[in-house]
Structure 1
Amino acid sequence: MSDENDIEEGPLNLDIPDHLQYSEEHVWVDDSVSPAIVGITEYAEKKLGDLVFIDLPEEGTTVEAGDEVLELESAKAVEPMVCPVSGTIRYVNHDAADDPSVVNGDPYGEGWLLKIELDDDEPELLDAAAYADLTSR
């Protein structure tokens, strides 16, 4: 990752994988696998800067879409992550909690945060094109 942790004005060159879905709160969901994988987007990671602490929820916790499920702490801010889906948290990424720089380095891979067994209801999420439009405003 480059040394540019701050998002400057102007067009962003963000990685927005096509196979994922996104929330307006900059959280991604991969529901092509079960349990679904959830993490923060590269946009959110760049806005926060270098993460220093991640407060993960307990496995087995039931969450509703819109719940604040964990906190991300950087030198700049402490931000809650709003979960875009409802379900039961089956796994948390202890590696990311032990070394939050994993999220900065690979937010869509090794930096995943939660694996959630989804409830039956379909979440209202954005596709990659709609999310790219949101982040370009």
Structure 2
Amino acid sequence: MDFPEELKYSREHVWVRIENGTAVIGITDFAQNELGIILALELPDEGDDVEQDDSFGSIEGRKTVAELYAPFSGTIESVNAEVLDNPGLLNDDPYDGGWLLEVTLDDPDELKGLMTADDYAEYVENRD
């Protein structure tokens, strides 16, 4: 599985990339693999607020439906319309074309609780 070094990761299998002061988030390669073929996705609207550790949407795979949890608090700046129209992008390209949201952070200190790629790889390897 692929866990790019430049990203940070949550225990809820969401990745975070900071670009020009905005956080881009998506699901990890591990998450898309566990879900199977992604069939549908529910995401918030631009302008909505998300709160750290609260659900911000859901994702339906062939194997299960899972909630998506915010790794930090902020305001949704952009939603990836392409992935809403074609959820399979998450299976094909979870780190680039399959991004979910761009979010303006309320408190950058909330990022301190995220894992590095190595820590996340160890986390998924040792999960129950």
Q: TM-score, normalised by structure 2?
A: 0.93
**In structure 1, C-alpha distance between the alignment counterparts of 2:108 and 2:62, rounded to whole Å:** 37
Q: 1:33/1:136 Cα in 2 relative to 1: closer, same or farther (>3 Å)?
A: farther
| Post-superposition offset of 1:33 | 3.4
1:130 aligns with 2:112: no
The superposition leaves residues 48-80 of structure 1 with CA deviations (integer Å, 9 ceiling, x where unpaired) of 010111111111111111010011011221111
**In structure 1, C-alpha distance between the alignment counterparts of 2:77 and 2:40, rounded to whole Å:** 21
1:109 aligns with 2:91: no
The superposition leaves residues 9-46 of structure 1 with CA deviations (integer Å, 9 ceiling, x where unpaired) of xxxxx101000000011100012433210000000000
Work out which of the two has the higher radius of gyration on C-alpha atoms and give 1 or 2. 1
Q: What's the % identity of the aligned pairs? A: 41
Give the RMSD, CA atoms, in angstroms: 1.0
After superposition, where does 1:22-61 map in structure 2 within 5 Å? 22-61=9-48
| Post-superposition offset of 1:111 | 0.1
Q: Which residue among 64, 82, 85 is the counterpart of 1:98? A: 85
1:88 aligns with 2:75: yes
Structure 1 unaligned blocks of 5 or more: 1-13
Structure 2 unaligned blocks of 5 or more: none
Q: Which amino acid aligns with 2:79?
A: V
Per the alignment, in what secondary structure is the counterpart of residue 122 of structure 1? helix
Q: Which has more helix, going by share of residues?
A: 2
Task: Give runs of ≥4 in structure 1 deviating > 4 Å.
Answer: none
The total of aligned residue pairs comes to: 124
